């Protein structure tokens, strides 16, 4: 097993300065900070309309120390492909190109340009930060919003389950797919570091707890990400060249450890307030079925190497 980063070995250098414009307790700010540390300074980002554009701020008062192109909502992967091609034409092979978009910008409007780039195995890292809704514009429903959650565009609770974006990307046979949360920041750092050293389309999916969008107090962000994993609503894994491996708490569950019921996670969040009992039963059924499929596929043994 590769050496794991710890808070003591985490690089001190910062590319995201204090004083950014995200909400208090934003999970995205934790993920972005640690992701950028791992990527290092030789990077160009492309980011569509989203909370991340707000977090970064506008020139000349941006809190970021890395170059970023703000692109149109549906064009993250297309714009990353263009940046990569331009760098290649200039003979600059040492710069990592990263597209970093929300779940709306990824699972919904940006999926076709992402699919095209992945099919071509374009050499870039694509990050989907999944706060499970269109949060920047006031908490609308996305294809990644979980079943039963209330949003401003599904006021009776969402009727459909979440789109499985990491597995959709894995079906493109790209070299690297990984899932993580900001509640596991050292794993997040290591995943970005690993992705940086690979060639081809690398996809990282980050579940982002979001206090205003999910309806919980800002100090509970870390706990919210942990609970999502402990109850199996969100799972931590890597797929390297088609080989699937759980890691961390998800590996413990896969090895026979306890998976908590979804109730506590659901009841901790205002977006599920007033949800009918039968809908919680349906969410539990969805999680159980997902884990049964992991088992059938032989994923429930071994860990991250």
For binding to ligand TPP (CB under 6 A), which residues are involved?
A: 49-51, 73, 101-105, 131, 133-137, 142
Range in contact with ligand SF4 (rule: CB under 6 A) among 63-71, 77-85, 118-126, 208-216 = 208-216
Q: Which is nearer to ligand SF4, 99 or 182 (CB)?
A: 182
Interacting span for ligand SF4 (CB under 6 A) from 9-17, 130-138, 179-187, 297-305: 130-138
**Rule CB under 6 A: is residue 208 a binding residue for ligand SF4?**
yes
Cβ-proximal residues to 80 (8 Å cutoff; 6+ apart), any chain: 46, 97, 98, 99, 117, 122, 124, 126
Residue 151 CB, nearest distance to ligand TPP (Å)?
11
User: Judged by CB under 6 A, which of 20, 22, 201, 245 binds ligand SF4?
Assistant: 22
Taking CB positions, which residue lies at the least distance from ligand TPP? 102
Query: Closer to ligand TPP at the Cβ: 126 or 299?
Result: 126
CB of 212 to ligand SF4, least distance (A): 5
Q: Does 131 bind ligand SF4 (CB under 6 A)?
A: yes
Binding status of residue 28 toward ligand SF4 by CB under 6 A: yes
Select 51 or 178, whichever has its Cβ closest to ligand SF4. 51
CA dist., res. 258 & res. 151, Å (int): 31
Closest residue by Cα to residue 180 from 171, 189, 172:
189
**Member of 40, 57, 175, 212 binding ligand SF4 (CB under 6 A):** 212
Provide the CA 71 distance to its chain's centre, in angstroms.
19
**Residue 96 in the binding site for ligand SF4 (CB under 6 A):** no
Closest CB to ligand SF4 among residues 56, 75: 56
Distance CA 272, CA 279 (A): 10
Which residues of the shown chain bind ligand SF4 in the complex (CB under 6 A)? 22-23, 26, 28, 51, 55, 131, 135-136, 208, 210-213
């Amino acid at each position: 097993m590769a050496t794991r980063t710890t808070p003591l070995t985490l690089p001190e250098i910062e590319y995201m300065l204090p004083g950014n414009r995200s909400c208090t307790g934003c999970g995205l700010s934790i993920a972005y900070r640690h992701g950028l540390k791992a990527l290092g300074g030789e990077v160009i980002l492309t980011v569509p309309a989203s909370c991340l554009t707000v977090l970064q701020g506008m020139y000349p008062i941006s809190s970021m120390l890395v170059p970023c192109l703000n692109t149109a909502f549906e064009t993250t992967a297309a714009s990353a492909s263009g940046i990569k091609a331009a760098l290649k034409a200039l003979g600059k092979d040492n710069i990592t190109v990263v597209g970093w978009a929300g779940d709306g910008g990824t699972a919904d409007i940006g999926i076709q340009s992402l699919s095209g780039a992945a099919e071509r195995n374009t050499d870039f890292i694509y990050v989907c930060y999944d706060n499970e809704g269109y949060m920047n514009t006031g908490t609308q429903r996305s294809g990644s919003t979980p079943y039963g959650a209330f949003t401003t565009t599904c006021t009776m609770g969402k009727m459909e389950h979440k789109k499985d974006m990491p597995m959709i990307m894995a079906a493109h046979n790209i070299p690297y797919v990984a899932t993580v949360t900001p509640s596991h920041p050292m794993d997040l750092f290591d995943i970005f570091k690993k992705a940086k050293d690979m060639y081809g389309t690398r996809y990282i999916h980050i579940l982002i707890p979001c206090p205003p969008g999910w309806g919980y107090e800002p100090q509970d962000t870390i706990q919210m990400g942990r609970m999502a994993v402990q109850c199996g609503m969100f799972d931590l894994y890597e797929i390297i060249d088609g080989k699937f491996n759980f890691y961390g708490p998800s590996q413990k569950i896969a090895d026979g450890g306890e998976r908590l019921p979804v109730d506590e996670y659901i009841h901790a969040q205002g977006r599920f307030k007033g949800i009918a009992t039968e809908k919680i039963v349906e969410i539990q059924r969805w999680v159980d079925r997902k884990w049964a499929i992991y088992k059938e596929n032989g994923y429930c043994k071994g860990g991250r190497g």
